[in-house]
Amino acid sequence: MGKTNGHASPSAAGRDFIVRDARVEDAAALAAIERAAFDPAHYGNMLLTKRSFAGHIEGGRNAVPVAVAADGTVFGYALGFVKKGSPYVRFASLAVLPAYEGRGAGTALLDAVEDFARRRQLKGVRLEVREDNQRLLDRYGRRGYEVFTRVPDYYQDGAAAVRLARLV
């Protein structure tokens, strides 16, 4: 896939981490990443647990790439759901341990979700973004995502979501 966002993300060759598919044994590490990246005081029971990660991985249907440092530490994940019969991956979550931010893992994990869609010969990737998050909308726009619908009152505070898709 071509990088179209012009962001300084290191090439695969220059990275100090790898991205691979999650294994069930990673579930505890992924739950810890979740708690570190999303404040439990704010997100409460919306946070994915070890058990829910294990289920998403074991099901074999979903995209769950993880980022692994040279010392074996699993420090980031992305989660994309594929509903039976749907031609899209729904990109649902992305998180990196704070100490590992800014080295391109978030971008590489999204790349991996798009690669997953390609490998499964799906049409593309869909995701939601808060309508008021212009920075993130711009980021996805540069990556080739296009808005296909708006969902009013989507978030708990009443904010609307826009749904975007990228064909792979």
Q: How far is the CB of 94 from ligand COA (least distance, A)?
A: 5
Q: How far is the CB of 36 from ligand COA (least distance, A)?
A: 8
Binding to ligand COA, residues 74-113 (CB under 6 A): 93-96, 101-107, 110
Q: How far is the CB of 35 from ligand COA (least distance, A)?
A: 11
Backbone φ and ψ for 78, nearest 5 degrees, come out as: -130, 155
**How is residue 15 written in tokens?**
């990275």
Nearer to ligand COA, 13 or 121 (CB): 13
Instruction: Indicate whether 136 belongs to the interface with ligand COA (CB under 6 A).
Output: yes
Q: Containing H/E element for 145?
A: none
Q: Which residue is nearest to ligand COA (CB)?
A: 106
Query: What is the total count of residues that contact ligand COA (CB under 6 A)?
Result: 16
Give the residue among 100, 99, 98, 59 at the shortest CA–CA distance from 79: 59
For residues 38 and 69, the answer to whether their CB atoms sit within 8 Å is: no
Query: CA–CA separation, 26 vs 126, rounded Å?
Result: 25
Q: How far is the CB of 12 from ligand COA (least distance, A)?
A: 13
Binding to ligand COA, residues 3-62 (CB under 6 A): 9, 37-38
Q: How far is the CB of 92 from ligand COA (least distance, A)?
A: 8
**How is residue 49 written in tokens?**
């647990």
Report the amino acid identity of residue 17.
F
> In angstroms, what CA-CA distances link 85 with 61, 119, 122, 158?
11, 16, 10, 31
Backbone φ and ψ for 67, nearest 5 degrees, come out as: -105, 135
Nearer to ligand COA, 35 or 121 (CB): 35
Residues of the shown chain interacting with ligand COA in the complex, contacts defined by CB under 6 A = 9, 37-38, 93-96, 101-107, 110, 136
